[in-house]
Structure 1
Amino acid sequence: MEILEILGYFGGLLIGVVLGLIGGGGSILTVPVLVYLLAINPVTATAYSLFVVGTSSLVGALRNIPKKLIDFRTGIVFAIPAFIAVYLTRKFLVPAIPEEIFTISGITITKDIGIMIFFAIIMVVAAISMISERDNGKNIKEEKVTYNYPLIIAEGIVVGLLTGIVGAGGGFLIIPALVLLAKLPMKKAVATSLLIIAIKSLIGFIGDVQNMEIDWIFLMIFTGLSIAGIWLGVYLNNFINGKKLKTAFGWFVLLMGIYIIWKELY
């Protein structure tokens, strides 16, 4: 087993640890780990990421059900348009992207390069969200839960589209939406987002099963490491300041996003 492959499997564990520690963000590492350490092409990597993210989020959601932290009504309203959007994106939009998108200044942007650059842009946006002092709505006064259905549905469609293209969970978009549009308390928003991410990611992955061959043995091993990492992260959360860690991780994701853009273009 080569060094990069060992680092790749360690990355799978690290993804879970980050999810367990700060409740999100870890999924943004999945595609870079699969592409750059395990040499999986970007389209396949985004598909595998959906399964890893979906399964890991499902484990987190199941842990929250006994605590009554999940708002199922809001989750369903958000998840239905999200999973329809992500399924259609994986089934029809991603396969329809041409192998060569365009050429500019002598640089040909292929499908793989385009996906990685778009993913890197999402990483930068996610990083800024994690670094931001606004803290994704944590300082907003908790109000009575209300349901702005048109906005929640619209947000669900947008998040589903982004998830379908890049394979990340989109928690950095979902949590503020639940806080601002449904007026959910922060803890419920985080817990409900895990359920939404699980549903839309796993249903989106079904679109890939119909389009490509899946290495199930590898995928199960990698996902198993990620789930183990979640439990380790939850344990370490008793000893580590989650807010400081989230900010530090945000800077790491920001630098990685910039590096991916540079690597793919130059």
Structure 2
Amino acid sequence: MIGLSLGFLGGGGSILAVPLLVYFFEVPPGGATLYSLFIVGLTSLVGFAKSVRAQQVNFAALVVFAIPSMAGVLVVRRLILPEMPLTVDLGLVSLSKDSLIMAAFATVMVLASVAMIRPARKASLDQRDSMWVSAGKAFGVGAVTGFVGAGGGFLIVPALVVMSRLPMKTAVGTSLGVIALNSFFGFFSDALSGADVDVIFVLKISALAVVGILFGLHWGRNVSDAKLKPLFGAFVLLVGSLILLSQLF
């Protein structure tokens, strides 16, 4: 499912990874976000390689965006998550650390679903972000990636279009490189610092996801992206809403 989504839509696979790991494989949310980083990184790398062959990658924009976004991943994975208390008081409700991670992930799912359901709007290229605004956006995407284990492609693509004035297909290909870098950076920074990783399990899931993306890329050639995205977005909206409600209530 993760790989097929990435192959058909060019995104959305990471939105499925954490819920599948938590609810189907019963991996704790903290571990699920870590495993998701590797799975998302590997599948994105496959898509990135395809985009490189099609000459749909801007390497200069990739480097400029990747550096502050990797800093966002590092700050969240190494400084914020380890220092979070086991219970977080949000005023109206108190959540455990795991519940807060899942609630944050569900919020990202809902936001991503809205982006998928709404008709695509042509991005304006008349204005270009300043260097500091661009760096702030990249840092924010990295922070999201580090906290919830999602690649953030639905945030990266429009940011690249405005920041670097890239054509949409080039922005998508470049975003896959950013996602792969962020995801692998987050995963290996945790793994090398001693995080408990079930290597065989992660490799099995990743291998299945890669098989999925290869099938998705092949089948997706003859399938309308405009028809699939709203349907997938509605599914993501339903799942994200149910997860959010289950964690808050």
Q: 2:110 aligns with which of 97, 104, 124?
A: 124
Q: Indicate the percent of aligned positions where both proteins have the same amino acid.
A: 41
Segments of 5+ residues of structure 1 without an aligned counterpart are 1-13
Q: How much has 1:264 moved relative to structure 2?
A: 1.7
Q: Does 1:93 align with 2:80?
A: yes
Segments of 5+ residues of structure 2 without an aligned counterpart are none
1: distance between equivalents of 2:246 and 2:6? 26
Counterpart position of 1:4: none
Amino acid at match of 1:257: G
Q: 2:44 aligns with which of 57, 79, 92?
A: 57
- Per-residue CA shift, 1:106-151, capped at 9, x if unaligned? x541000011011111110111011111x2x5x23678x9774322
Q: How much has 1:104 moved relative to structure 2?
A: 5.4
Counterpart position of 1:265: 248
1:69 is paired with a residue of what secondary structure? coil
1: distance between equivalents of 2:3 and 2:146? 21
2: distance between equivalents of 1:102 and 1:141? 41
1: distance between equivalents of 2:21 and 2:149? 12
Give the root-mean-square deviation of aligned CA atoms.
Answer: 1.8
**What are the residue-to-residue correspondences of 1:183-262 with 2, within 5 Å?**
183-209=165-191, 210-262=193-245
2: distance between equivalents of 1:180 and 1:227? 30
- Per-residue CA shift, 1:149-181, capped at 9, x if unaligned? 322211110001111100000000000101122
2: distance between equivalents of 1:261 and 1:146? 35
Q: How much has 1:19 moved relative to structure 2?
A: 0.1
Q: 2:32 aligns with which of 45, 69, 74?
A: 45
**What are the residue-to-residue correspondences of 1:34-183 with 2, within 5 Å?**
34-102=21-89, 108-133=94-119, 135=120, 137=121, 139-140=122-123, 148-183=130-165
Q: How much has 1:265 moved relative to structure 2?
A: 2.7
The number of residue pairs the alignment matches comes to: 248
2: distance between equivalents of 1:73 and 1:148? 16
1:109 is paired with a residue of what secondary structure? strand
2: distance between equivalents of 1:228 and 1:152? 35
2: distance between equivalents of 1:41 and 1:193? 28
Q: How much has 1:62 moved relative to structure 2?
A: 1.1
Amino acid at match of 2:161: V
Which stretches of structure 1, 4 residues or more, deviate above 4 A after TM superposition?
145-148
1: distance between equivalents of 2:67 and 2:19? 28
2:165 is paired with a residue of what secondary structure? coil
